[in-house]
């Protein structure tokens, strides 16, 4: 199913009352695009990866579905990892590009839209972008000006030095439900 799109400007988009509905709306390349609703595996990876990052990160905070205003885009990454000293004391959207953006690809998502968003955020200050493809068991990684690299299996992933070793297999195992009191082996 293709999500509905609406053309316009970033300012008119941000004045809309429905952009925070579920699923959220984003503004990419001059178009308002509603995100695709998450699946079970998407939700589990999002929750478990965010928790794993927050358990280990001293200088960063991982936040889910945070609106990030990076003109002329308004993005809502699945996970935004931001240096603690960059997080505002006031409520509202985050102004600027997160340090690390994590998107989890769904079959209905447009890879081109996600890649366009990734390149824009990298150009505006993000250090790292992941695009997790659960179906293909791969993670596409962009770092600054480098071309994307595709990781799979036991490949170790870059993580802003939050993890000493985190592999694609580790991330893909996060599609499983944790037992109470246990954590993932990352």
Residue 19 lies in a domain: no
Q: Is residue 70 part of a domain?
A: yes
Which pair of structure tokens corresponds to residue 3? 């999500």
Q: Check residue 179 and give its pLDDT.
A: 45
Spell out the per-residue pLDDT of the chain, length 186, in tens.
Answer: 344 555 678 988 888 888 888 899 999 988 888 998 899 999 999 999 999 999 999 999 999 999 999 999 999 999 999 999 999 999 999 999 999 999 999 988 888 888 999 999 999 999 999 999 999 999 999 998 788 999 999 999 999 999 999 999 999 999 987 644 445 555
Q: What is the pTM of this model?
A: 0.89
Q: Is there a domain that residue 29 lies in?
A: no
In a domain, 115, yes or no: yes
Residue 5 lies in a domain: no
pLDDT at 184: 54
How buried is 49 (Cβ within 10 angstroms: 0-12 exposed, 13-18 middle, 19+ buried)? buried
| CATH number of the domain within which 93 lies | 3.90.1570.10
Angle at CA of residue 63, ends 61 and 64, nearest 5°: 160
Take residue 44 and report the two structure tokens written for it: 């589990």
User: Nearest Cα to 43, choosing from 134, 166, 175?
Assistant: 175
Range of 135's domain?
Answer: 37-175
The count of domains in the chain is 1
Say what the pLDDT of residue 66 is. 96
Which is nearest to 87 in space by CA: 77, 79, 98?
A: 98
Q: Is the residue at 10 inside a domain?
A: no
């Amino acid at each position: 199913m293709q999500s509905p799109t609406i053309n316009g400007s970033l300012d008119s988009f941000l004045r809309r009352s429905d952009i925070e509905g579920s699923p959220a709306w984003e503004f990419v390349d001059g178009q308002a695009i509603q995100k695709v609703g998450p699946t079970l595996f998407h939700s589990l990876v999002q929750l478990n990866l965010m928790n794993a990052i927050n358990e280990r990160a001293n200088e960063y905070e991982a936040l889910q579905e945070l609106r990030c205003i990076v003109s002329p885009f308004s993005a809502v990454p699945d996970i935004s990892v931001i240096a603690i000293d960059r997080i505002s004391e006031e409520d509202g959207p985050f102004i600027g590009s997160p340090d690390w953006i994590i998107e989890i690809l769904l079959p209905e998502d447009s890879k081109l839209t996600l890649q366009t968003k990734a390149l824009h955020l990298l150009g505006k200050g993000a250090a790292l972008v992941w695009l997790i493809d659960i179906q293909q068991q791969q993670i596409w990684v962009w770092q600054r000006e480098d071309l994307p690299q595709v990781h799979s299996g036991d490949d170790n992933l870059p993580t802003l030095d939050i993890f000493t070793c985190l592999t694609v297999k580790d991330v893909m195992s996060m599609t499983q439900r944790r037992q109470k009191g246990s954590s993932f082996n990352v």
